[in-house]
Amino acid sequence: MTKKTSKPSRELIFGDLWEFDPAPETADPKLKKRYDLFINGKFVAPKSGRYFDSINPGNETKLVEIAQAGAEDVDTAYRAAKRAFDTVWSPMPGHERGKYLFRIARLLQDRAREFAVAETLDGGKPIKESRDFDVPMAAAHFFYHAGWADKMAYVAPGRTVKPHGVVGQVIPWNFPLLMLAWKIAPALAMGNCVVIKPAETTSITALKFGEILQEAGLPPGVVNIVSGAGETGAAVMNHPIASKVAFTGSTEVGKIIMRSLAGTDQKMTMELGGKAANIIFEDAPLDQAVEGIVNGIFFNQGHVCCAGSRLLVQESVAESVLSKLKRRIAVLRVGDPMDKNTDLGAINSREQLERITKLVASGVKEGAEMHQSACKLPVKGFYFRPTVFSKVSMSHRIAREEIFGPVLSVLTFRTVDEAIEKANNTAYGLSAGVWTDKGSRILKMSAELKAGVVWANTYNKFDPTSPFGGYKESGFGREGGRQGLLDYCKLA
Amino acid sequence: MNRLPITKTPKCYVGGAFIRSESGRVAPLLDAKGQFFANIPQCTKKDLRNAVEAAAKAGPGWAKRTAYNRGQIIYRLAEMIEARSDEMAQAIMLGGAKSAAAEREVAAAVDRLVHYAGWTDKYESLLGSVNSVASPHFNFTVTEPMGIVGILAPQSAPLLGLVSLFAPAITSGNTVVALASTAQPYPSILLGEMLATSDLPGGVVNLLTGQRAELLPTFSTHAHLRALTGVADAVERKALRIGAADSVKRVKLIESETPVDWYEDQHQGLYHLKDLLEFKTTWHPVGA
C-alpha cells in the first residue's frame, strides 16, 4: 500500500506567471456611420429624423447612430408587410419561399466574420463566442427552417396549416443576431411576413442583416426592421395589423405586454426569464462538470435567459466542486471582447452593470459568501468579475431573482428528492442541467424538473432542430424544431 | 296511498367527495316549466381554492398513470354516462331542451370521451420528436401536462361543452377545476356522480357550481392554475387575461359572442391536447 500524502496536488496557474499577448480580431465589421430603418426593402430615415448612439460597451466609445422608429414608422412597416404578405409572400409556393431562406443562410455564412466583429463591438460578447456560436448558429437556423417552407403539410398531422399573416417581434440584446434568426426564420418559413424590433443597445447586426436581405433579393416588405427603445417595441406589439406577436425578454416586460394585449385575441409567444438549476450529483465527472458550470453561468457574461445561475451540488462533493470552481474562475480571462483569448467580455450596458452590482451587493448583505476572481479589469468599458456565492439559501435574492450577469449562487442538497424540490422551487422554468454518470437518473431528473430544456452532462447547447422555451413564468411557445413551427401557423 | 319520492340534494364533486359550498349558500333551480327543482350550491372563492388544492394532490399520481390506464378510465367514464343516459338527458331537459336534442347531446358527450380514451397512448408519438442535433446527443422532445387547468364551461350545451373542455385536459394527465354553466348546472351535478363511479381518481376532475362573475377573478389570478380554457365574452376575456398575466398562465378562450357548435369535429382532437401540454426537450449524452 502506498503512503497517502496530505499535500494537495500541484496546479498550473497560468494567469499569474506570464501575460498573454493581445490577440485582437482585426476583420473589418464594415460599419456605416448611421443606420436607417429597413422598411419595404429599403433603408429609410425615421419620420422624426431622430437617431440615437450605439456605443461599444467594451470601451464606451460611440460606434454608429441608429434610427429611432416612431409609431408612424412602425405603421409604415406594418403596411408594407401586409402588402407583401397579400401580394407576394403568401401566394408564393413553399419551395420558392424556402430558396430565399437558403440564400439568406448562405449569404450570412459568407459574411460571418464581418457580422461576428460587428456583434462583438456592439454587444460586448467575446469574439470567440460571436464567431463560433452566434453567427454560425444564426445561419444554421435559416438553413434548417428553409427546408420546412415546402413541408408545411407535415407540421401538424391531420390538419392543414396556414400562415398567420404579419408577425410582430421584439428581441433582446443578449444574442442580437441569433434571436433575430430564431424569430424571422420560422416566421418566413411558414409564410408570414415580419416587423421586428432589435434591442436599442444592439441594433447594428439586425440592420446589417437588412443588407443581406437586399443581397438575397427578398421581396420588399417581407421583413421590416425597426430600431428603437421601449416605445417602439410597444408600437410593434400593439399594432392592429399584427396577427401574432412574439417577444423575447424579461418576465417583467412580458407581463406588461400580456396585459396590454388582454383586450384583444392576439396570438402570443413569450420567451422570458429564468433562474435555472444546474445540478451536480456526487457520481458526476467533476472536472467535466466544472467546465459545464463555467459554461453555464459565464457564457456571454451570464447574459443568458437559460443560464445555470443556481448551482445545486450534492453535499458530499460540494467542497471539492467549490474549490475546483474557484481555481477555474481565477484563470478566466476577462477583458477586451475583441481579443480572441477573452473568456468574459463586456457587460452589455451601464444599466445592466448597475443591476448586477446591486444584486451582488444584496447577496453579500444577506449573508452569502462571495468569491471573485482577482483579474484586472480594463479601465474603460463595463466589466464585472466572475463571481461565485457559496452558503446561499433559497430565500436569498441572488437565489430567486434573475441577475443576467456572471454571478453564480451555490446551494447544496443531500438527496435526489431534495434536488428536485429545490430546482423546481422557483417561478421560472426555462432550463436545467443535470450532471451524473447514471443514464437512468438523467431520465428520471428530466421527467421531474419543471423546465422546457434539460441538459445532461452539458449546458447551454442549442440547435435549430431542438425546441427551446419555458414552463411557468419563463413564458410559453417554443422556438426551434417542428414544435416551434406550430406557433407560427394557424390550423385550418 | 301515493309514496312521497325522495329527492336528491345536489352536491358538487370536489376531491372525490360530494360537497356543499363552504358558504352554505344555495340558489333554487327551476325546471323547464318554472317549477322548483332543487337547490344548487353556490360555490365561493374558498371552494375554488379548496378544489385547486384537491387537484394539486391528485395531479402527480394521475400524470404518472400509464397511458393505457388513463385510456381505460376515460372509457369507463363513457360507459358510466351511457348507462345512465336517460337520466342525463332528463337533466339537460331541465334547461328547456327537447328530448331528442338532449339525447343527442348525451350521445355526443359519450362519443367525445371515447374519442379521447383512444388518444391517451397516441398523442405523444405525434407531438413529440427526436431531433437531429449537430452534436453527440440524443435529443428528444416529449410532452408533459401543464398541471391544473381551470375550465369555464359555456352557458349552453351544459354537458357536451363541459366534457369537450375537460376531456382533452385529463387525457394527457392534467387535473381540472371546472365551473359549470351557471344557468344549467344540473348536468354537472349528475356528471359528478358518474365521475365518482368511473375509476377516475378523486381530485382529477373537480366540478363547481355557482355564479360565474363571482368566481372568474380567482380563476384568472390563482397562481396554481397553470392554464385557463373555456368560453367567455369580451369583457370576461380581457379581465381573465389581465389576471392571468401575473402568473404567465396559458389562456385559451372561445368567444361566447359567436354561437359554438360543440358537435363539430373541430372541437376535439390532437391539437386540443397540445394546447394543454408543455414541450420538454432533453439533451442526453451519447458515448461511453
Question: In chain B, which residue's Cα lies nearest the Cα of A137?
Answer: B134
Question: In chain B, which residue's Cα lies nearest the Cα of A466?
Answer: B131
> Are B282 and A446 in contact (CB < 8 Å)?
yes
Q: Which of A161, A459, A314, A480 lies closest to B133 in space, CA to CA?
A: A480
The C-alpha cell 451582488 sits at A360
> Are B141 and A159 in contact (CB < 8 Å)?
no
Q: Does A235 touch chain B (CB under 8 A)?
A: no
Q: Return the number of CB contacts < 8 Å for A and B.
A: 116
Question: In chain B, which residue's Cα lies nearest the Cα of A463?
Answer: B133
Q: Among A454, A471, A486, whose Cβ lies nearest the Cβ of B282?
A: A454
Q: Which of A405, A288, A333, A265 lies closest to A127 in space, CA to CA?
A: A333
Interface of B with A in 35-94 (CB under 8 A): none
Widest distance between CA atoms in chain B = 86
DSSP string, A99-128: HHHHHHHHHHHHTHHHHHHHHHHHH---HH
pLDDT of A6 strictly over 60: no
DSSP string, A380-416: SS-----EEEES--TTSHHHHS---SSEEEEEEESSH
Is A189:A148 a contact under the CB 8 Å cutoff?
yes
> Are A439 and B126 in contact (CB < 8 Å)?
no
Q: Does A158 touch chain B (CB under 8 A)?
A: yes
Q: Among A261, A442, A472, whose Cβ lies nearest the Cβ of B248?
A: A472
Q: Tell me the pLDDT tens digit for each residue of A11-66.
A: 666 555 667 889 999 999 999 999 999 999 999 999 999 999 999 999 999 999 99
Q: Among B144, B241, B274, whose Cβ lies nearest the Cβ of A262?
A: B241
Q: Does A292 touch chain B (CB under 8 A)?
A: no
**Active site annotation includes A306:** no
Handedness of CA B194, B199, B202, B206 (dihedral sign): negative
pLDDT of A4 strictly over 70: no
Superfamily (CATH) of domain A34-272+472-491: Aldehyde Dehydrogenase; Chain A, domain 1 (3.40.605.10)
> Are B244 and A258 in contact (CB < 8 Å)?
yes
Residue A1 pLDDT: 45
> Are B226 and A472 in contact (CB < 8 Å)?
yes
Q: Which residues of A touch B143 (CB under 8 A)?
A: none
Q: Does A424 touch chain B (CB under 8 A)?
A: no
Q: Does A456 touch chain B (CB under 8 A)?
A: yes
**Active site annotation includes A305:** yes
> Are B281 and A467 in contact (CB < 8 Å)?
yes
The mean pLDDT value for A196-203 works out to: 98
> Are A461 and B283 in contact (CB < 8 Å)?
yes
Q: Does B257 touch chain A (CB under 8 A)?
A: no
Q: Among A140, A446, A466, whose Cβ lies nearest the Cβ of B131?
A: A466
Which residue ranges of chain B lie beneath pLDDT 70? 288
Residue A19 pLDDT: 75
> Are B281 and A453 in contact (CB < 8 Å)?
yes
Is A167:A246 a contact under the CB 8 Å cutoff?
yes
CATH class assigned to A277-456: alpha beta
Q: Tell me the pLDDT tens digit for each residue of B42-54.
A: 999 999 999 999 9
Distance from CA of B285 to the nearest CA of A (A): 7
ipTM computed for the complex: 0.95
Q: Tell me the pLDDT tens digit for each residue of A141-171.
A: 999 999 999 999 999 999 999 999 999 999 9
Q: Does B141 touch chain A (CB under 8 A)?
A: yes
> Are A443 and B127 in contact (CB < 8 Å)?
no
Q: What are the φ/ψ torsions at residue B38 (nearest 5 degrees)?
A: -170, 170
Question: Which residues pair with residue B28 across a beta bridge?
Answer: B39
Amino acid identity of residue A205, one-letter, is T
The span from the CA of A224 to the CA of A229, in Å, is: 16
pLDDT of A5 strictly over 60: no
Q: Tell me the pLDDT tens digit for each residue of A448-484.
A: 999 999 999 999 999 999 999 999 999 999 999 999 9
The C-alpha cell 447547447 sits at A461
The span from the CA of B141 to the CA of A465, in Å, is: 10
To probe the interface with A, which of B125, B222, B248 has the most A CB atoms within 10 Å? B248
Residue B169 C-alpha cell reads as: 385536459
Which contacts (CB < 8 Å, 24+ apart) does range B15-18 have?
A: B15/B50, B15/B51, B15/B53, B15/B54, B15/B57, B15/B58, B15/B202, B15/B203, B15/B206, B16/B54, B16/B58, B16/B196, B16/B201, B16/B202, B16/B203, B17/B202, B18/B192, B18/B196
Q: Among A159, A457, A463, whose Cβ lies nearest the Cβ of B285?
A: A457
Q: Which residues of A touch B137 (CB under 8 A)?
A: 458, 461
pLDDT of A8 strictly over 60: no
Q: Tell me the pLDDT tens digit for each residue of A118-139.
A: 999 999 999 999 999 999 999 9
Neighbours of A129 (CB within 10 A): 23
pLDDT of A413 strictly over 60: yes
| For chain A, domain boundaries | 34-272+472-491, 277-456
Q: Tell me the pLDDT tens digit for each residue of A378-407.
A: 999 999 999 999 999 999 999 999 999 999
| Statement: B12-285 belongs to CATH 1.20.1630.10 | no
> Are B248 and A261 in contact (CB < 8 Å)?
no
Distance from CA of A60 to the nearest CA of B (A): 37
Residue A14 pLDDT: 58
pLDDT of A9 strictly over 90: no
Distance from CA of B9 to the nearest CA of A (A): 39
Residue A7 pLDDT: 60
Given the residues A193, A305, A306, A375, select the one marked as catalytic.
A305
Q: What are the φ/ψ torsions at residue B122 (nearest 5 degrees)?
A: -125, -30
Residue A20 pLDDT: 80
Q: Which residues of B touch A140 (CB under 8 A)?
A: 134
Reported as a pLDDT band with limits 50, 70 and 90, residue A319 is very high
Q: Does A473 touch chain B (CB under 8 A)?
A: yes
